[in-house]
Structure 1
Amino acid sequence: MERTEQPSRPERPSQSEQSEQPGRTDRSAAAGGGRPRGVTRRALLGTAGAGLVVGASAGAAGAVALDRSPAPGPAAGPGGGLGAARVPFHGEHQAGILEPQQARVQLAAFDLADGAGREGLRSLLRRWSRTAARLAAGEPADEFENQVALDAGPCSLTVTFGFGATLFDKAGLADRRPVALEPLPSFPADALDPARGDGDLFLQIGADDALVAVHALRVLQRQAAGTAALRWQAAGFARTPGATAHPVTGRNLMGQIDGTNNPRPGEEGFADKVFCAAGGDRPAWLAGGSYLVFRRIRMLLDNWEALATDRQERVIGRRKSDGSPLSAPAGAGESTPVDLAAQGPDGALAIPADAHVRVAAPAANGGAAMLRRGFSYHDGLLPDGAPDAGLLFLAFQADPRRGFTPVQRKLSRGDGLSRFLRHEASGLYAVPPGAPEGGYVGQTLLES
């Protein structure tokens, strides 16, 4: 999906315009409900403290920029500064949704082994949740610890779990599969590789240090042996906190400032756009959870970079220098509202009819909104010499039938940016609510 212009908050390359930098808050408060727990999500220490998080874009995705404050109390683990930042695992919502994007991500999907069933799934989720909580606190894993991240702190590690539609039949839970977890429709020009998408269980592992993220994935993978096998894996990156002289919205691999518009915690209706509520065809066990759409979106960078800068700007509808919309004077800034009716001196639309910001605008999509949190990837060259690079699009939403699907349908038909993107893998997952202290992710499904 592409960089959709959405009500203040994250999305990605060109297909997703991301949010600026809302102040960081705790998970409950950020969702628009509940009382702050007193523990903020991340710490941005080092040069130019503040909270930027980037959004590598290229198709509906982006990063969330929230304020990063150090967690109270002593730093966990040996890492200092940025490495000491901690994100609590337990809470109303899973970690890794409302938090600012970390610098690194490991994505992985697993398929449940034949015969594992409901009990095998419960045992695995208990083990994974216990380990994820320990690693998030900067503690070693209690089994299969390999010392890869021994001298690092928690580095804002988060582990987020998702359930694919196929999991429910395999675990004997077909009657509890959400209606909204129906397969995503096919979109024009999709070139999806089934081997690199879908899966019964999904993990999003984020951290500000690559070794910390890889360590967590390796430990969790070993703990799954005999119960679930790795189906696919992908690694991505975003800007490292403190890399800029002052907080700025990040750029994607197309060089565009990405993440100007995204729903933001604290906005009216934010929780309704991102988190599920029980009622109707929405199961009670998913209340407080979300749905995650994953898309691997390759950017045709050679073609894109062959365009003159002014042509790139007309494809997006924003200036490359500062993100200001073409409907405003140069230098107006990315936060300047987009005026879709504005005309240039020649009487033509200032923002072209097929510009990404126009086609992706909420007004053009029935107000559809998602919380985009994507990462860039660069995996070398394809056989033809073209870069295998782009966006690992991740978007959280209360209902994909009212979020991703209608927006992507609109983008695939009329967005000029689509000529420079290829959707190559896809997945849809139900993201359970967070786990309470002493509990595990998925408990509301397996024990209700």
Structure 2
Amino acid sequence: GRVPFRAEHQAGILEPPQARAQLAAFDLADGVGREGLRTLLRRWTAAAERLTAGEPAEEFDNQVALDAGPSSLTVTLGFGATLFDKAGLADRRPAALEPLPAFPGEALDPARGEGDLFVQIGADDALVAVHALRVLQRLAAGTAALRWQSAGFARTPGAAARPVTARNLMGQVDGTNNPKPSEDGFAAKVFCQAGGDQPGWLAGGSYLVFRRIRMLLDHWEELPVDRQERVIGRRKSDGSPLNAPAGSGEGTPVDLSAQGADGALAIPSDAHVRVAAPASNGGAAMLRRGFSYHDGLLPDGSPDAGLLFLAFQADPRKGFTPVQRKLSRGDGLSRFLRHEASGLYAVPPGPPTGGYLGQQLLEG
């Protein structure tokens, strides 16, 4: 299918995750400045608009994906905090783009995170996603260099008889409690509103937190399924919360006060769904849109695999940061996870009519 490139919000936020993703960050070359950035964003926009329509880019298209169609391709752009000084835009950097605080237990590799410009590319055909990244990379030559790149995957649309919530590499249904566009207050949780301390150029945009989270799968898979379920707070079979009967389904409301026959909490005190729940975090919520990754084996023979965590929110200071602070202290799942890279990006709104991505920042 084809996802429209031009809309109020950038594509690749509200759409379900595609089967394949290419995530990448670029750093501006020395001396590029505002004009060089404007030229790059114009060229990236022109290419992305054609590629998402299933047409070849006008420049640097190697025709690798010539007959693949749009394949639900989306290209989503974000700005890292370091971009603003380099491009002479320091006075336009949002206050909420301050660096994320350090969290207990993380060991972040700066070479695999951060960056001046971030691009999330999603498509249902792996070749289409790789081709789009290749075009953007070639268009950036001399202006911005690739800093890091990660490939991810999610459930393939149409592969199952009915649509189902994706599972992560731990086998758990992942994304059940995501805020839904039909819910009251959804836009205020996910998208920046005009006013307050948010800059006007970011109205209709969002903030994206990226985390590369390696899963200690060898340790996790040693746990019996019932122990895994208590760590998460949901059944592995159907995602139903432990406060409800088996088979009730992942949509059954989570009841954090429910008790089992023995009088103990049905959902343990350190279960992931309890610690991460909006009710436990002053209503903090994010729209998660992650992809799994599996990059072979580490030197010790364990899998280099896990989650490319992506979460869109109106303000990371009220979304990701308080939730992660709590998770890093009291989440039973955290002992099976290692946060290895991180990024925070301001995601501008959709391009203005006839304009380019990021135009509101550069010319607003």
Question: How much identity, in percent, do the aligned residues show?
Answer: 85
Any idea what SS the aligned residue of 2:325 has? helix
Following superposition of structure 1 onto structure 2, how do residues 95-244 of structure 1 map, counting pairs within 5 Å?
Answer: 95-244=11-160
Aligned to 1:205, what secondary structure does the other structure show?
Answer: strand
Structure 2 distance, partners of 1:132, 1:176, is 25
Q: Distance in 2 between matches of 1:139 and 1:370?
A: 33
Note if 1:250 corresponds to 2:166: yes
One-letter identity of the residue aligned with 1:102 = Q
Q: Secondary structure at 1:108's aligned position in 2?
A: strand
Supply the distance in 2 between the matched residues of 1:92 and 1:389 (Cα, whole angstroms): 35
Distance 1:232 1:130 in 2: 23
Q: In the comparison of the two structures, how many residue pairs are matched?
A: 364
Distance in 1 between residues matched to 2:182 and 2:352, nearest whole Å: 23
- CA deviation digits over 1:54-113, x for unaligned, max 9? xxxxxxxxxxxxxxxxxxxxxxxxxxxxxxx10111111101001111000000000001
The one-letter code matched in structure 2 to 1:410 is: K
User: 1:45 — aligned with what?
Assistant: none
State the match for 2:296 in structure 1.
Answer: 380
Unmatched segments (≥5 aa) in structure 1: 1-84
Counterpart CA distance in 1 for 2:267 and 2:197 is 40
Aligned match of 1:417: 333
1:412 shift after superposition? 0.4
Task: Give the Cα–Cα distance (whole angstroms) in 2 for the partners of residues 236 and 367 of structure 1.
Answer: 29
- Counterpart pick for 2:9 among 87, 93, 117: 93
Q: CA deviation at 1:187?
A: 0.2
Residue of 431, 435, 443 corresponding to 2:347: 431
User: Normalized against structure 1, the TM-score is what?
Assistant: 0.81
Structure 1 counterpart SS, 2:104: coil
Q: Distance in 2 between matches of 1:338 and 1:447?
A: 46
The answer to whether the 8 A contact 2:42-2:356 is kept is yes
Counterpart contact for 2:114–2:342, Cα < 8 Å: yes
Amino acid across the alignment from 1:332: S
Whole-angstrom CA distance in 1 between matches of 2:235 and 2:359: 47
Q: Is the 8 A contact 2:21 2:123 kept in 1?
A: yes
1:288 aligns with 2:204: yes
Measured in 1, the distance between the counterparts of 2:164 and 2:344 equals 30
**Preserved CA contact (<8 Å) 2:328 2:334:** yes
| Bigger shift: residues 136-145 or 240-249 | 240-249
- Give the Å deviation of 1:280: 2.4
What letter corresponds to residue 298 of structure 1 in structure 2?
Answer: R
For 2:59 and 2:287, the matched residues in 1 are separated by 34
Which whole-Å CA distance do the structure 2 matches of 1:156 and 1:366 have between them?
36
CA distance in 2, matches of 1:155, 1:188: 40
Partner of 1:312: 228
Following superposition, the deviation at residue 437 of structure 1 comes to 3.4
* Other-structure match for 1:78: none
1:7 matched residue in structure 2 = none
Counterpart residue type for residue 30 of structure 2: D
CA distance in 1, matches of 2:348, 2:164: 32
CA separation in 2, counterparts of 1:353 and 1:266?
Answer: 30
| Cα distance in 1, alignment partners of residues 86 and 139 from structure 2 | 19
> What is the alpha-carbon distance in structure 2 between the residues aligned to residue 389 and residue 273 of structure 1?
30
Answering whether residue 267 of structure 2 is matched by residue 351 of structure 1, we say yes
Runs of 4+ in 1 over 2 A off after TM superposition: none
1:254 is displaced (CA, Å) by 0.4
SS in structure 1 at match of 2:111:
helix
1:260 to partner: Cα distance: 1.1
Contact 2:233–2:272 (CA under 8 A) maintained in structure 1: yes
Query: In the aligned structure 2, how far is the partner of 1:328 from the partner of 1:287?
Result: 40
Deviation at 1:248, TM superposition (A): 1.4
Assess if the C-alpha contact under 8 Å between 2:352 and 2:359 holds in 1: no
Deviation at 1:350, TM superposition (A): 1.0
**What code does the residue aligned with 1:370 have?**
M
Alpha-carbon RMSD: 0.7
Q: TM-score, normalised by structure 2?
A: 0.99
- d(CA) in 1 for partners of 2:26 and 2:338? 24
Amino acid at match of 1:409: R
Q: What is the aligned partner in structure 2 of residue 402 from structure 1?
A: 318
For residue 266 of structure 1, the aligned residue among 166, 182, 193 is 182
Letter in 2 for 1:393: F
Query: Which consecutive residues of structure 2, in runs of 5 or more, have no partner in the other structure?
Result: none
Looking at structure 1, the residues matched to 262 and 10 of structure 2 have their Cα atoms a distance apart, in angstroms, of 51
